Amino acid sequence: MIVFLLSRKFIKSYLIVLLPVLILSFDKLFLSFSSVSMLDIYATFFSLLSILLFIKSLDDKKFFFATYVSIGLALACKWIAIFVFFAILIYYLLKKDVKNFALSLLGIILSIGVYCLTYLTFFLNGYGFQEFISLQIKMYNFQHFMRFERGVPPSFWILLNFLTGIEGPTEHAVIEIIQESGSLIVKTLSVKHGLSLIKAFNPFTWPSSFSSSIMSFYYARKRRDENFQLIPIAFLTLIGLTSYGQVFIWYLLPVLPLGFISLGYFIENVYKDAKNKKLAACLIIVYTFILLIWSFTVSLSPFILTA
């Protein structure tokens, strides 16, 4: 529903407005996380809600507090949701809006307060502020260890994942375990080298959503559609935040719908600028048909042999 409301706000065509919702409904990464109760999908919901409320607050200030309450709830699910706050700051910087930039800094105080309130049960069970801070430090140290201390891939490795569906080089080994004289002997029979692939990857939506985010930002600036600009800014902000350290593709789950909205926005603007409307409409239909066929019929192998 949130994706539809965001799409409807910026995409005027009654057919194209459904495209982001349709793509998301068949995206395998989104479906796999939606089918189980994990914090990533809750962070996605509250992040999208925060962006919707913020865009509404640009026209009606009564949504200001609701925006930062939602950001606080998103942070309580996953710290990576901080990208929403950074996107808002970048948005105001580009507008050179000093007043609202300062207000957004005050808003994050409200978000932190909401974040702390989610630990109410923690405090009611006798734990104090010192234990709370200690817990946050332990959480930070764990995240830092997982991202930066176990071996770090090259910068912007997440783009390799997102644009090509390749996780990276890997090897598969066949081993034999033999029990002799009360001890276990492990023998490696064969080792195969190859590439690990992301099974949820869709070459017709993921790469195009990245390029469309850049192009839709261009169109929004060109047409002075200031409110829409937050959508591609938020998408690219999370890309930037996940471009360093060891991350997983599902870190981008909160902005996947934003990429699809940018794709729909870009397609609509290309259609508006097209001299041959019939040809443009046919290409849009063919594109939609192809991505649906891929979503229904194709399942990538998790491993490709290279040597």
Q: Mean pLDDT across the stretch 192-210?
A: 87
Long-range CB pairs of 151-157 (<8 Å, 24+ gap) are 151/246, 152/244, 152/245, 152/246, 153/246, 155/243, 155/244, 156/243, 157/243, 157/247
Q: How far apart are CA 57 and CA 59, in angstroms?
A: 5
What is the rounded CA–CA span in Å between residue 84 and residue 67?
10
Residue 55 near residue 9 (C-beta atoms within 8 A): yes
Please state the three-class secondary structure of 181-236 as a single string. CCEEEEEEEEEEEEEEECCCCCCCCHHHHHHHHHHHHHHHHHCCCCHHHHHHHHHH
The C-alpha torsion from 132 through 135 and 140 to 144, rounded to 10°, is 170
The SS3 call for residue 193 is: strand
> What gap in Å lies between CA 194 and CA 173, rounded to an integer?
11
Average pLDDT over residues 238-256: 88
pLDDT at 76: 95
The residues that bridge with 197 in the sheet, in sequence order, are 166
84 vs 193: CA distance, rounded Å: 39
Q: Where is average pLDDT lowest: 153-162, 206-215, 256-265? A: 153-162
Burial class (CB within 10 angstroms; exposed 0-12, middle 13-18, buried 19+) of 46: buried
**255-306 per-position pLDDT tens digit:** 999 999 999 999 999 888 888 889 988 999 999 899 888 888 887 777 777 7
Alpha carbons 168 and 286: distance in angstroms, whole number: 32
Compute the mean pLDDT over every residue in the chain, rounded to the nearest whole number: 88
Amino acid at 8: R
pLDDT tens string 61-84: 899 999 999 999 999 999 999 999
Asked whether 255 and 51 are in contact (CB, 8 A), the reply is: no
> What is the average pLDDT across 194-203?
86
The confidence band for 307, taking pLDDT boundaries of 50, 70 and 90, is low
DSSP state of 155: T
Which structure tokens are listed for 146? Answer: 């997982």
Separation between Cα atoms, residue 266 and residue 279, nearest integer Å? 16
Gap between the Cα atoms of 172 and 191, Å rounded? 6
Bridge partners, 160 (sequence order): none
**pLDDT interval class at 195 (50, 70, 90):** confident
pLDDT confidence band for 211 (50 / 70 / 90): very high
Sheet with strand 183-197: strands edge to edge: 166-180, 183-197, 303-305
CB 155 within 8 A of CB 268: no
Biggest CA-to-CA distance, the chain:
80
pLDDT by residue (tens digit) across 100-152? 999 999 999 999 999 999 999 999 998 899 999 999 999 999 988 888 877 77
Q: How far apart are CA 25 and CA 35, in angstroms?
A: 12
Predicted local confidence at residue 168, as pLDDT: 78
d(CA 25, CA 64): 30
